[in-house]
Chain A
Amino acid sequence: MRVAVIGAGVMGLSSALCIHEQFHGLVPSLELELYADRFTPHTTSDGAAGLWQPYLSDRGNLQETLWNKETFDYLLGHLHSPAAKEMGLFLISGYNLFTEPVPDPSWKNIVLGFRNLTPKELELFPGYSYGWFNTALMLEGRSYLPWLTNRLTERGVKFFHKKVESFQEVSGDGVDVVLNCSGMRAGALQPDPELQPGRGQIIKVLAPWLKHFIITHDLKSGTYNSPYVIPGSEFTVLGGVYQHGNWSEENSAKDHKSIWDSCCRLLPALQKAKIVTDWSGLRPARPSVRLERESIHLGNLQGEVIHNYGHGGFGITIHWGCAMAAAQLFGSLLQEKKQLATPPGPRL
């Protein structure tokens, strides 16, 4: 049973790990191969600050809220494990700021200690009159992706540095299932007009005195188009750009200035922060995550593809829930192919 995974961002690596963990014992012939043109630290996931926080609105996708919760609970359970530091996993508290009262988010009971901000706290943020405080998790891509890669390597998963141009390319030659975690470039493998770039740019700075994340919201300009400051284990990420339909991965001086000025207005102490570098990336935005099976015709053969892409700006936040769902789809596939006598579960 050969499985080809396309994509080495957080989705590709975690889905591969999840499938291998659940099925290698049950399917001795299981072989996983991972194909990608970009590996850490050059993936979209590497640019993300790594803060677990869904969008304010679940856009009607309750399933996504469940996947977010699964991810948070999974990570929280690993907080005390010896692997936490290597994974880049740690607790962090912080502020969400608004210029007017807003309804509580879908994730208020998932994070720890969610509450409204007090008037005294709001004094810290002139121009904002409402907000939340909560404790969430950071999962830094620069640590998590290498950690996932190591776990996969230990398990004998093979990696191929290759730009895949079609499903057929990887699914010939005995590959039974393709796991499509190609993120922003999924449209090149199969047209998907719903998948659009949500271009982001960030400035990485050194500001080690900052211990809280601060995310501002401008309900008129939309998600991530308002300044945010997210302290990591080494660098602090300044951001606040979301450009729908913009495919440029080049840093823009105009965006840099806008981010820098708005973040320094928010936190005057940032003026003393040392700028390290800028980075731009394309959030693989979609009205909803595409996580489903598809049968593909390859000449006179039939192949199965499991799609797992379109996670926008909440990839880290939702990744484990999606990896588990992808593994579940894989399991049902195995059952159909009669590779599994019974689905994985408690033995009678």
Chain B
Amino acid sequence: MASPKVAVVGAGVIGLSTALCITETCPSCSVTVLSDQFSPNTTSDVAAGMLIPHTYPDTPIHRQKQWFKETFTYLFDISNSAEASEAGIHLVSGWQIFKNTPREELPFWSDIVLGFRPMTEAELQKFPQHQFGQAFTTLKCDCPPYMLWLEKRLKATGTQMYTRKVADLWELHSEYDIVVNCTGMGAHQLVGDKQLFPVRGQVLKVHAPWVKQFIRDGDGLTYIYPGIHRVTLGGTREKGSWSLSPDAGTTRGIFDRCCSLEPSLQGAQDIEVKVGLRPSRQCVRVQREVLSQGGVKLPVVHNYGHGAGGFSVHRGTANEAAHLVEECISALQGSSSRAKL
């Protein structure tokens, strides 16, 4: 197969980074990205893009750690280069605080982020309701800059990108040799995955440029993440809610909770409310599958279900998906040479 034609469906952080990895591992591939939405209208654009992993219950920890490590290393190198500001990648330090000391004081990722240590008594005085905390430095992927930077890198490799609503993966079988499914929440409908469920998140993006530190409550519900131009205030984790409409009461709640951790946010300006549906699953689906109809086969590589942890593991899962695409190509080449006999 001289130039395998690969379609990547989905243009969120997973779709774009997977497409980019495929161009890197398989330079002879012709890659096309198809999506009904592009930045700034993807779920990824709502996320703060903080590299603080979510733990998937059914994915082995060593695999999650490997994904996070690859992602962190990749972004660390970009943040250290002249491209950092264009790519929207920057370091940010801060605190994760707990009202009650957690069972697991050392999360699996503590040796991957920078300078991880327990908070001192003096630091905890800032948070009278909280008994324990962790201080560390991590990375943030600001969107849309990161998404636009990925798109630019893709265009430079000759990758085409089209706005197109794919109703059924099979519809691509005549135009493409391999399909990569990075549709996030869309996979619920597209491939009928009932294990995939939304976890609704509402956030506020505000102008508060004096906030230089992140603060996250270990319960995951309240967080303050300073980005390049805006600070993301969160949030909610509403399992099973499909609503994309901002809720005014929720906005008030988020603002109040964040102000109680960082009172200076009372002076925040230009409050913008956004909603995203985290495409959640007990384990991320990075897997090969072969669709067949009437003797015709279509290899598919799935890469979706990253829930709350998309940014944290995106490059690691993209690498894995790209390797699965390589396997698909080998399988196709093997079967085509068999067909010649």
Residues of A bordering B, CB below 8 Å: 79-82, 84-86, 88, 90-93, 112-113, 115, 117-118, 120-121, 123-124, 133, 135, 138, 207-212, 231, 233-234, 268-269, 271-273
With both beta carbons as reference points, the residue of chain A lying nearest to B77 in the complex is identified as A123
| B92 within 8 A of partner (CB) | yes
Flag B81-106 by CB within 8 Å of A: 1 or 0 each.
11111101011111000000000000
Tell me if B142 is interfacial: C-beta within 8 Å of chain A: yes
Question: Nearest chain A CB to B293's CB is how many angstroms away?
Answer: 49
Looking across the interface, which residue of chain B has its beta carbon closest to that of A91?
A: B213
Query: Which residue of A is nearest B84, CB measured?
Result: A269
Residue count of chain B within 8 Å CB distance of chain A: 37
Give every chain B residue within 8 A of A121 (Cβ-Cβ).
114-115, 137
Interface stretch, picked from B119-127, B156-164, B306-314, is: B119-127
Closest 5 CB pairs of A and B: A269-B84, A85-B267, A233-B210, A209-B90, A268-B82
> Given known contacts A79-B126, A84-B263, A113-B120, is B114 in contact with A209 (CB within 8 Å)?
no
The majority secondary structure among interface residues of chain A is mixed
Of chain A, the residue at the smallest CB distance from B142 is A209
Task: Given contact pairs A113-B135, A124-B91, A269-B81, enumerate 9 new A-B contacts (beta carbons under 8 Å).
Answer: A85-B267, A93-B94, A123-B80, A208-B209, A209-B90, A211-B226, A231-B212, A233-B210, A269-B79
Contact in complex: A269, B85 (CB < 8 Å): yes
Which of B83, B135, B264 is A90 in contact with, Cβ under 8 Å? Answer: B264
Return chain A residues, CB-CB under 8 Å to B228: 208-209
Separation of A209 and B135 alpha carbons in the complex (Å): 20
Do B114 and A135 touch across chains, with their CB atoms under 8 A apart?
no
Contact yes or no, A84 B264, CB < 8 A: yes
Binary contact track B120-152/A, C-beta < 8 Å → 1, others 0: 101100100000000101000010000000000
- Note all chain B residues with C-beta closer than 8 A to A208: 209, 228-229
A124's partner among B80, B86, B119, B211 (CB-CB below 8 A) is: B80
Chain B interfacial positions (CB closer than 8 Å to A): 79-86, 88, 90-94, 114-115, 117, 119-120, 122-123, 126, 135, 137, 142, 209-213, 226, 228-229, 263-264, 266-267
Inter-subunit contact B114/A91 (CB<8 Å) = no
Query: Judging by beta carbons under 8 Å apart, are A135 and B123 in contact?
Result: yes
| List of A residues within 8 angstroms of B84 by Cβ | 209, 268-269
* Closest beta carbon of chain B to A132's beta carbon, Å: 11
Cross-chain contact B80 with A268 (CB below 8 angstroms): yes
Q: Which of A212, A268, A272 meets B93, CB within 8 Å?
A: A212
A-B contact pairs, 24 of them (CB 8 A): A79-B264, A80-B263, A81-B263, A85-B266, A90-B264, A93-B94, A93-B212, A112-B123, A113-B122, A123-B80, A124-B91, A133-B137, A135-B93, A138-B210, A208-B229, A209-B84, A209-B142, A211-B91, A212-B93, A268-B81, A268-B82, A268-B84, A269-B81, A269-B85
- The reply to whether B91 and A212 form a contact with Cβ atoms under 8 Å apart is yes
Beta-carbon contact of B209 and A233 below 8 Å: yes
A272 near B82 (CB under 8 angstroms)?
Answer: yes
Q: How far is the CA of A103 from the CA of B226 in the complex (A)?
A: 33
Closest Cβ of chain B to A204, distance in Å, is 14
Query: Which B residues touch A82, using CB under 8 A?
Result: 263, 266
Nearest Cβ distance between residue B316 and chain A, in whole angstroms? 18
Query: Which residues of chain B are near A124, meaning CB under 8 Å?
Result: 80, 91
Residues of A within 8 A of B210 (CB): 85, 88, 90, 138, 233
Q: How far is the CA of A112 from the CA of B122 in the complex (A)?
A: 7
CB distance from A53 to the nearest CB of B (A): 15
